[in-house]
Amino acid sequence: MHTDVADAVRRALAEDVGSGDITTNLCIPADARATGRMIARQTLTLAGAEILPLIFEDCEVRLHHDSGARLDSGDEIGVVVGPAQSLLTGERTALNFVQRLSGIATLASAYVKAVEGTGCRILDTRKTTPGLRRLEKMAAAAGGAVNHRMGLYDAVLIKNNHIAAAGGVRAALERTRNAGVPVEIEVRTRAELDEALACGARHLLLDNLTPVEAREWIAHIARRATVELSGGITLATVRAYAETGADFVSCGAITHSAKAVDINFRLELAP
């Protein structure tokens, strides 16, 4: 598993446990054993369950479903067997991760379902919780979204402020000709659009257009470049944008506004 994931789990446990789980250590005998069952309490798309072994290191973890699985209320996600103290200490951290990540996967899957049959794909964004980007992008992918760039280092995305600072569309594009990574540029006007196409841009970002405007611009582009649409696109409007002929629609809401799903962790003490 990626080191970013292991680091996130380590930091979450350190934040919660600190110098020790005093309630559990005082109340629960060290030799007590238990079984914890993680159960969905609503329809959801699962994500994050694969990190449970990192949280419950001294326990046996048996997962019944992989990330990306669609679960109904009452479905058992997995079982953790081991020292009762370990289960109680790790319970909240485990739920925090799986509820949050499954919320992202569930919302992503709703966006993906909304554009079925259009040929348009849903992209996530960098609008993630600081320190949890890799996990949240894993969750978006579990829901069927396509991961956009992971950070500022693996692709060029020239946005309006870059264009202003560089001195224009042409200047910005010319300076990225030998970048060695994918290059995308945001255009805000038809003049910028035509200039970008004339400069050989192959991936365009059209931001804050209406579906009608987007359809007109995409017809003008005429497949000379791939097109991503963004800007306030919601679950209610995403299909209208997808039907414009866009290749991609990016939705920051998938990560920044996903609601945690309802999951329960039921502990049973061994006889």
Q: Which of 121, 159, 170, 215 is catalytic?
A: 159
Using alpha carbons, list the distances in angstroms from residue 115 to 5, 15, 91, 205, 218. Answer: 30, 39, 36, 19, 17
Q: Which of 186, 192, 228, 247 is catalytic?
A: 186
Q: Are 40 and 75 in contact (CB under 8 A)?
A: yes
Exposure string of 46-84, with b = 16+ CB inside 10 Å and e = fewer, is: bbbbbbbbbbbeebebebeeebebebeeebebbbbbbbb
Q: Which of 16, 76, 194, 207 is catalytic?
A: 207
Q: Which of 70, 127, 170, 188 is catalytic?
A: 127
User: Measured between alpha carbons, how far is 223 from 108 in angstroms, rounded to an integer?
Assistant: 27
Angle between helices 3-17 and 133-142 in degrees, nearest 10: 110
User: Measured between alpha carbons, how far is 187 from 155 in angstroms, rounded to an integer?
Assistant: 17
User: Measured between alpha carbons, how far is 172 from 185 in angstroms, rounded to an integer?
Assistant: 9
Look up 127 and say whether it is catalytic: yes
Q: What is the DSSP letter of 217?
A: H
Look up 186 and say whether it is catalytic: yes
Helix (H), strand (E) at residue 24: helix 22-27
Q: Is the torsion defined by CA of 27, 79, 44, 266 positive or negative?
A: negative
Q: Are 27 and 249 in contact (CB under 8 A)?
A: no
User: Measured between alpha carbons, how far is 122 from 234 in angstroms, rounded to an integer?
Assistant: 12
Q: Which of 33, 37, 70, 92 is catalytic?
A: 92
Which residues carry out catalysis? Answer: 92, 127, 159, 186, 207
